[in-house]
Structure formats: C-alpha cells, structure tokens
Amino acid sequence: MKKSLLYGLLISVFISCTQTKTNDESKFSPLQKLQEGNKRFAAGKPVHPDETLERLRELKKGQHPFAIVVSCSDSRVPAELVFDQGLGDIFSIRTAGNVMGDYELGSIEYAVEHLDCKLVVVMGHKDCGAIKAFIKSEGHYEHFDHIKKIIEYIESEQEEKNLESHLELHLDKAIDANIEHGLTYLKGSEPILKAFYDSKKVKIIGALYDIETGKVTFDTNTKI
Ligand SMILES: [Zn+2]
C-alpha cells in the first residue's frame, strides 16, 4: 500500500471515530450521561474520560459542566469517579450528610445561572456516617464542636421529623428523608432555583448511591 493511501485511510478512520464519539455523546441527556457513566463504574469498566492535559487546556476557555451533583464528603462518594466523568464535566458540591446552606446554594445558583447547568442531582448514600451520628445522638449531641451544626441541621429537616421516634428510626429511611429534604430545599429556594425549576429550565432529582455495589439509583419522581 502506498504511504499516502495509508495515511488517508488512517485519517478517515480517525475522523469517523471522532464523529462517532461526538454523536454518541450528544445523543445522551445529562441524566443519561450520569447513568451510563455509573453503569461503567459499577461494572468495573470505567473509561476515565476527560482526564488529559489536552482536556484541561480546552477548559481554559471556560467550563460547561453538564450536571451539578450535591453529595456527601465521604471519601467513598466522589461524583467524578462514581459517574465515570472527568475534568469540566461535573460541578460538585460536597458536605458531610450533603447538608446545604447559603454557600452551597450560592454555588449551585452560579452553576445554573452562569454555567447553564440543566440538571441538579441530590445524591445521598447508604451507610452515611452523618445520618448515623444524627440517629445515635437521639436529639442530644453532647459535644460543642462544629459537627454539632451538621447534626442539628439534619435534625431540623422536616422530612426527618415526619419519621417515627429516634429510637425506631431506621438508617435507610433517614437517608431517604435527608435526600427528600435536599430536593424540597432546592426546589423552593428563592429567587434563582425556584424560578428555574418552576419554569422547567432545570431538573432537580434525587439519587441513592450504594457504597457496596457502586450503583446509583435515580428517582426522577423525587421520592426515593
Ligand atoms: Zn455520608
């Protein structure tokens, strides 16, 4: 085969591969991208996309993450790994027990308003230490540290109050209630998120991550 013909062939194969990748990516919604990425992660077959220096250089022009993920600071819950995404893909908000206040809200508003993110996922996880601490405290956390603030926040969530007494409180139910609280909190947050959510410019959905299997279960009806 002549050299020029070989080069031509290689170039056309490269172009068709690039086009296929682009087409594949564009046909997925933000939610589907997360779902597909999590399938790869949970199957032990991550492709680790968007981790190159080239990608980083591309992003110098500006970031356009396709999703905001609010999740726990727990070291087993990194959104980029769990959803097999890379640089510039996910706008990540993480606090213990995925509790949210003004700083977290401001960060989410920025990504929705200025980075054009159209999906917010509130992702709780099984066996969450923050929720466990809340249950264990039975309404009387005895230490005067800043962890107390997190426990008190979870305690103040109406969704947790709607459950049975602390003694009967089941961890999984408390985790679900915490996710539900996050969703209600964001959907009602004035002035930005409520307006974007009500006018269907942004989707806000709940998810539960299983730290044993690596699987994320999404609930598009918000009830977990
Ligand atoms: Zn946690």
The answer to whether residue 153 is domain-embedded is yes
Task: Give per-residue pLDDT as tens, 28-43.
Answer: 999 999 999 999 999 9
Q: Do 73 and 96 meet the contact criterion of CB atoms below 8 Å apart?
A: yes
Count of structural domains within the chain: 1
Least confident of 20-29, 110-119, 160-169: 20-29
Range of the domain at 167: 30-219
- The yes-or-no verdict on residue 224 having pLDDT over 50 is no
- The yes-or-no verdict on residue 10 having pLDDT over 60 is no
User: Is 128 marked within a binding site?
Assistant: yes
* CATH number of the domain that residue 177 is part of: 3.40.1050.10
Q: Of 131, 188, 172, give the one whose Cα is nearest residue 155.
A: 131
Residue 126 C-alpha to ligand 1 middle, in angstroms?
Answer: 8
Q: Do 151 and 141 meet the contact criterion of CB atoms below 8 Å apart?
A: yes
The answer to whether residue 5 is domain-embedded is no
Residue 35's Cβ-count burial label (10 Å; 0-12, 13-18, 19+) is: middle
Q: Do 62 and 200 meet the contact criterion of CB atoms below 8 Å apart?
A: no
Task: Give per-residue pLDDT as tens, 84-139.
Answer: 999 999 999 999 999 999 999 999 999 999 999 999 999 999 999 999 999 888 87
- Tell me the residue ranges of DSSP E strands in 38-164: 67-71, 90-94, 119-125
Q: Quote the mean pLDDT of the chain.
A: 88
User: Is 125 marked within a binding site?
Assistant: yes
The answer to whether residue 15 is domain-embedded is no
Residue 223 C-alpha to ligand 1 middle, in angstroms?
Answer: 19
- The yes-or-no verdict on residue 220 having pLDDT over 70 is no
At residue 203, the 3 state secondary structure works out as: strand
User: Is 117 marked within a binding site?
Assistant: no
